[in-house]
Homo-oligomer: A and B are copies of this chain.
């Protein structure tokens, strides 16, 4: 997984049927040589803009939704505690 900061919402009206109802957030990788990399992650735990989150990528992202037919490759799996410094 990677640590990232939620930057913004991404809105898409024309999209795969299986994605309807999913929230998408633009996140930016925090720290290390990948800092500043942008990703779009599905969010099912109501992460807010500015929060630091844990993003899971690849086939494992589908596991967060409890179904295997959705074309997503990144999902927010946790919100990093505010008092967690790193």
Flag if A72 contacts B56 (CB, 8 Å).
yes
Total A residues in contact with B, Cβ cutoff 8 Å: 59
When the two chains form their complex, are residues A64 and B71 in contact, meaning their CB atoms are under 8 A apart?
A: yes
| CB proximity to B under 8 Å, residues A14-33 | 14-16, 18-19, 24, 26, 28-33
Whether the Cβ atoms of A84 and B11 lie closer than 8 Å is yes
**Chain A 19-62 interface 0/1 with B at a Cβ cutoff of 8 Å (1 = within):** 10000101011111111111111000100000000101111111
Interface 1/0 per residue, A64-85 and B, CB below 8 Å: 1010111111110111110110
A–B complex contacts, Cβ < 8 Å, 23 sampled: A1-B39, A1-B72, A1-B73, A2-B38, A3-B10, A3-B38, A3-B40, A10-B80, A11-B80, A11-B84, A12-B54, A12-B81, A13-B81, A14-B45, A14-B79, A16-B77, A26-B86, A29-B32, A32-B37, A56-B72, A56-B73, A61-B73, A63-B70
